[in-house]
Amino acid sequence: MSQPVVIVTGASKGIGLEVVKILLNKYSAKVVAVSRSVPQPLKDLADSSKGAVELVTGDVAETSTSERASATALEKFGKIDGLILNAGTLDPLGPVVKTNIADWQTAFNVNFFSLVTMLQSTAEALRQSKGKVVFVSSGAATGDTQGWAAYNSTKAAMNSLCRTFAKEEPDIASFAVRPGVVDMQAQLRLKGQSNMNADEFKRFDTLHKEGKLLPPDSPGYVIASLAVRGPTTLSGQFLNWNADELADFQKPSV
């Protein structure tokens, strides 16, 4: 197998950063890492990759970022085999009637419309490679956590986009993956208590305090593997990272 070329958004930390590491170490991939900033761990990874990682810095909500990511992959590596749509925001937190519509629009620009622009920018190359697209979704896509209305809505829209894109583009395998409870995210810890139902906030806060959050490389391994060798038989589906159907994509037990 030739070295796969994969674009990863939200690559600066958490699942995104782990996915980049797995793509490099497990699949010897070439990676275009897209992020708003380049913290030291991502910079070090790129510097040590011997040219296997190209950094694209920018806001995914801007169409130009998608265009630059696609152009970078094609200019530097000659193709695009996979696309991992991981960038996202939890804001705005709060009840529907108390949140600002401009903040909702920002959430949809980041969590949804950026997906559309990235698909539009890469679709032709993905058709040629019979590539893969992994939408990093959430249980929020089918959930009703109070105070998360914007986030819930954007992830539901993401899943719908995945289903439709899979049907429109049968040569591109597309998957929406629920990664489980991995990262509490700073805005949730800072703002959640005052903007969420008390019991729901306590459930998330307890997982964080008791160290029961998933390590990001567990779902990250599945996400990276699907971006390289995901089957068309699962295209369009919304799948839990540890679903039986994904057993062959799980991180090997030590």
Q: Which amino acids are annotated catalytic?
A: 137, 151, 155
Alpha-carbon distances, residue 62 vs 2, 53, 177, 221, 246 (angstroms): 32, 22, 24, 28, 33
CA–CA distance, 95 with 93 (Å, rounded to integer): 7
Indicate the pairing of strand 53-57 with strand 173-178: unpaired
Report the alpha-carbon distance of residue 3 to residue 7 in Å, rounded.
13
**53 strand-pairing partners:** 31
Q: Are 123 and 83 in contact (CB under 8 A)?
A: no
